[in-house]
Amino acid sequence: MRNTISALIGVGACFLTSVAFAQNLDWQIFSEPFITTAHAQNIDWQKIDEILGRKAAVSDDVHRYGFARSDLAVTLDGVAIKPAFALGGWVAFKPAHGGVMAMGDLVLLETEINPVMAKMIAGGLEITAVHNHLLRASPATFYMHVAGHGDPAKIAATIRDALAESKTPLTSASPASPPPAIDLDTAQLDSLIGIKGQANGAIYQFTVKRLDPITEGGMLLTPVGAMGVATAINFQPTGGGKAAITGDFVLTDGEVNPVILALRTHGIEVTALHSHMLNEEPRLFFMHFWANDDAFKLAKGLRAALDKTASAKI
């Protein structure tokens, strides 16, 4: 009898503990996928397309809009920079509670920074960074990171009105003639970098995911490529097996100097180191780079730098 009473007391204690645990659970963890899906279905994406004057590239629940500075003729060390190589501004919309989370990276001339910033602020968007990516480019380009939460149509209208203060093309360009073949052994580059790249016009691009989850304001930033939190590596052929490279590594604090050392050891210039966001977890740093040399040599240097990071390798 005593054993029976003890067992009943134990069951009751477990039940009460389970109730208390359930009350303390953050049920948002379980409901988030369903809430996000519902919000994605409720958003009039065609309206957002119309406001921004272009169709989005859709990855999972993220709609990403490109704002390439095809109007600019930028050169660096004698290389004519193609828009997809280093002039590709963008804004991504991800469904969130009460609307969307928006974040982006806009390419601006020096004289455009303050007029665009004023419109962003007036429309309720946050400026999270302004900086260079390249050195010695002519004309010099700067990159403004923006963020916002709320009504997607209002955010889109603010972005459109802000970009109207620059010479950023606000309508999609007519389809151009097919891009030239990429004058590089892309299969060998894939092997050296350790993941499969993808052609974007005349540019060969790699998107390298980190192994650790990244959140902003408590929200998981996925897919990481579309949300701008994956290491980006771009190759632009410059002839004779050579390529210009640029992009940015996504790093935690302990990875910064090992990656700098790996890049510099392999003849790759570090051109910028800075933040892009304000309250992400873990705290991230973005390191931009540049070189124009034998493509395979540079790929080996980039792989050596990636090996200093918690990055995926296939």
* Predicted confidence (pLDDT) per residue in 182-214, tens digit: 999 999 999 999 999 999 989 999 999 999 999
Q: What is the mean pLDDT of residues 133-146?
A: 98
| Domain boundary pick from 171, 196, 225 | 171
Q: Are residues 86 and 124 in the same domain?
A: yes
pLDDT (average), residues 302-313: 93
Q: Are residues 135 and 190 in the same domain?
A: no
Neighbours of 85 (CB within 10 A): 25
Instruction: Give yes or no for residue 222 having a pLDDT over 60.
Output: yes
Domain count, the chain: 2
Residues 185 and 229 grouped into a single domain:
yes
Residues 6+ apart with CB under 8 A from 3: none
Q: Tokens 């050596």: give the residue.
A: 304
233-257 burial by CB neighbour count: b if 16+ within 10 A, else e? bbbbbbeeebbbbbbbbbbeeebbe
- Residue 173: predicted pLDDT: 65
In a domain, 64, yes or no: yes
Percent of the chain with pLDDT over 70: 85
Q: Are residues 120 and 165 in the same domain?
A: yes
Q: In this structure, are 228 and 160 located in the same domain? A: no
- C-alpha–C-alpha distance, residues 227 and 209, integer Å: 11
pLDDT at 177 exceeding the cut of 90: no
Among the candidates 143, 171, 199, a domain finishes at 171
| 2 three-class SS | helix
Amino acid at 262: A
pLDDT-based confidence at 98, cuts 50/70/90?
Answer: confident
Helix (H, G, I), strand (E, B) or coil at 163: helix
Q: Do 112 and 45 belong to one domain?
A: yes
User: For residue 155, which of 88, 91, 215 has the smallest C-alpha distance?
Assistant: 91
* CATH code of the domain covering residue 73: 3.30.1460
Residues 108 and 78 in one domain: yes
The Cα–Cα gap between 291 and 293 comes to 6
What's the rounded mean pLDDT across residues 262-275? 98
Whether residue 17 is contained in a domain is answered as no
Band (174; pLDDT cuts 50, 70, 90): low
Asked if residue 82 has pLDDT above 70, the reply is yes
115 CB-near residues (< 8 Å, 6+ apart): 165, 166
Q: Range of 253's domain?
A: 180-314
Tokens of 173: 């360009």
pLDDT tier at 121, thresholds 50, 70, 90: very high
Do 84 and 31 share a structural domain? yes
164 & 217 share domain:
no
pLDDT of residue 4: 44
* Strands, E assignment, the chain: 57-59, 62-68, 75-76, 79-80, 88-96, 99-109, 126-131, 141-150, 198-200, 203-208, 215-216, 219-220, 231-239, 242-251, 269-274, 280-281, 285-294
Task: State the Rg of the chain over Cα.
Answer: 23
167/35 same-domain check: yes
Flag whether 15 is in a domain. no
Cβ neighbours of 186 (radius 10 Å):
17
pLDDT of residue 16: 40
42 pLDDT exceeds 90?
A: no
Question: Band of the pLDDT at 21, cuts 50, 70, 90?
Answer: very low
Confidence of residue 218 (pLDDT cuts 50, 70, 90): confident
Domain annotation covers residue 142:
yes
Quick check: is 158 in a domain?
yes
Highest-scoring range by mean pLDDT, 5-9, 111-115, 173-177: 111-115
Question: β-strands 215-216, 219-220: how paired?
Answer: antiparallel
Q: Please, which pLDDT band fits residue 176 given cuts at 50, 70 and 90?
A: low
What average pLDDT does the structure give for the chain?
Answer: 89
Q: Is residue 230 part of a domain?
A: yes
> Are the beta carbons of 216 and 203 closer than 8 angstroms?
no
pLDDT at 1 exceeding the cut of 90 = no
| Same-domain status, 134 and 190 | no
Which residues does 92 contact at the CB level (< 8 Å), separation at least 6?
62, 63, 64, 65, 102, 103, 104, 226, 227, 228
pTM of the model: 0.85
* Residue 6 counted as domain residue: no
Cα→Cα distances 167→160, 164, 176, Å: 12, 7, 20
Mean pLDDT of 93-113: 96
Boundary (domain end) residue, out of 128, 147, 171: 171
Are 135 and 206 found together in one domain? no
Q: List Cβ neighbours of 81 (8 Å cut-off, separation of 6 or more).
A: 74, 75, 87, 134, 137, 236
> What pLDDT does residue 312 have?
76
Task: Give mean pLDDT, residues 69-83.
Answer: 97
User: What confidence tier does 97 reach under pLDDT thresholds 50, 70, 90?
Assistant: confident
Backbone angles phi, psi at 63, to 5 degrees: -110, 115
